[in-house]
Amino acid sequence: MKKEILKLRDIKVHFPVKAGVFNRVVGHVLAVDGVDLDIYRGEVLGLAGESGCGKTTLGKAILRLVEPTDGKVKYISNDEEETELTSLKKTEMDEFRKKLQIVFQDPHSSLNPSFTIFGSLQDPLKKFGIKSKEQRRKIIGDLLEAVNMRREYMDLYPHEFSGGQRQRIGIVRALCLEPELIVCDEAVSALDVSIQAQVLQLLMQLKKEKNLTYLFITHDLSVTEYLCDRIAVMYLGRIVELCDSEDLYGNTLHPYSEALISAIPVADLDKQTKRIVLEGDVPSPVNPPKGCPFHPRCPKAKDICKIETPKLKKYSTNGNEHFASCHLVDLPEVS
């Protein structure tokens, strides 16, 4: 039986746009605009989309690194106790920070250059009650070995490491409090292909050993296919499709996901597909188009798409749940 670890209900993150002499609020960037999502224990959930679609903001809103404007994030512990994270005070939140961690995108800017690795990594351990330095060194040393690095590396400075090594240190940082869920925000995008494969394998291996759950944020759909159990595709702050990873590639329901998949260059001469070239750019999230946010670029748009915003509805493909928000899906809706 699948158990949830996080439940997101109608999450909204709006950033005010200020202008003029008095810095009056003239509008809002609707970075995340109503997202419902359940994350199950032990799964890898991919969150894919183009830049500016709100995927990073959603990842940060879950950890309250960005305060959500509206909506609820519920954490369900192993013994099925529900806590609403969004209503907690800052000090109360600390307890849950231990369980929810993040690996940042850019390994070059997410480590403090004036501290050694041990100096950077020991702070959270100190905060959560590991008083003896010996013990802290042991924990960090063990973790460094777990990510195929040498124990002695903890006394070096970040500039002495290559990009792939730094990303692994970022993973150690996230792991040192024994979290249950890790948000990987474009964790492999900044790395070279050969290093990227090393980090991907490491992530999978750690998941097995430590029973982790990942929310894997990326723009690279070929990585999500390899890594993820389920994939959510975002467009302009909303989830447009959510389903098992095989179904996303085999039975695509939303025209945006279809275009996104067809646009990815495939490194296989036998598998070349026809590119669906979308016209124009992603519209501004300050005033998204009326109706379906995708309709100005959609090759299949009909009149109804301009008027009515489609809701995320549940369908079934290959016996699996498959959510999509499009008027043009001609499958029967499942309750």
- Report 278-297 residues binding another protein (CB under 8 A): 278-282
When the beta carbons of 189 and 309 are compared against another protein, the nearer one is 189
When asked if residue 231 is in the footprint of another protein (CB under 8 A), the reply is: no
Stretch that binds another protein, among 63-71, 150-158, 265-273, 317-325 (CB under 8 A): 265-273
163 CB contacts (<8 Å, ≥6 apart)?
A: 107, 108, 190, 191, 192, 195
Cα 249 to the chain's mean position, in Å? Answer: 19
When the beta carbons of 36 and 229 are compared against another protein, the nearer one is 229
Interface with another protein (CB under 8 A), residue from 271, 319, 332, 333: 271
Q: 97 in the Ramachandran plot: left (φ > 0), alpha (ψ -120 to 50) or beta?
A: alpha
| Structure-token match 């439940």, residue found | 7
CB 170 within 8 A of CB 186: no
Binding mask 141-170 toward another protein (x if CB under 8 A, else -) reads ---------------------x-xx-----
- Report 33-92 residues binding another protein (CB under 8 A): 50-51
When the beta carbons of 55 and 97 are compared against another protein, the nearer one is 55
What 3-state class would DSSP assign to 28? strand
Interface with another protein (CB under 8 A), residue from 4, 38, 106, 225: 225
DSSP of 184-227? EESTTTTS-HHHHHHHHHHHHHHHHHHT-EEEEEES-HHHHHHH
Q: Token pair of 79, please?
A: 């013994």
When the beta carbons of 1 and 267 are compared against another protein, the nearer one is 267
- Closest separation in Å from C-beta 285 to another protein: 13
- How far CA 216 is from CA of 55, 105, 257, 281, 299, in Å, comes to 10, 11, 17, 25, 29
Interface with another protein (CB under 8 A), residue from 57, 110, 167, 198: 198
C-alpha closest to that of 248 among 5, 2, 49, 93: 49
When the beta carbons of 242 and 278 are compared against another protein, the nearer one is 278
Interface with another protein (CB under 8 A), residue from 67, 193, 330, 333: 193
When the beta carbons of 129 and 265 are compared against another protein, the nearer one is 265
CB 131 within 8 A of CB 138: no
* Interface ranges with another protein (CB under 8 A): 50-51, 162, 164-165, 192-198, 200-201, 219, 221-223, 225-227, 245-246, 249, 259-269, 271-272, 275-282
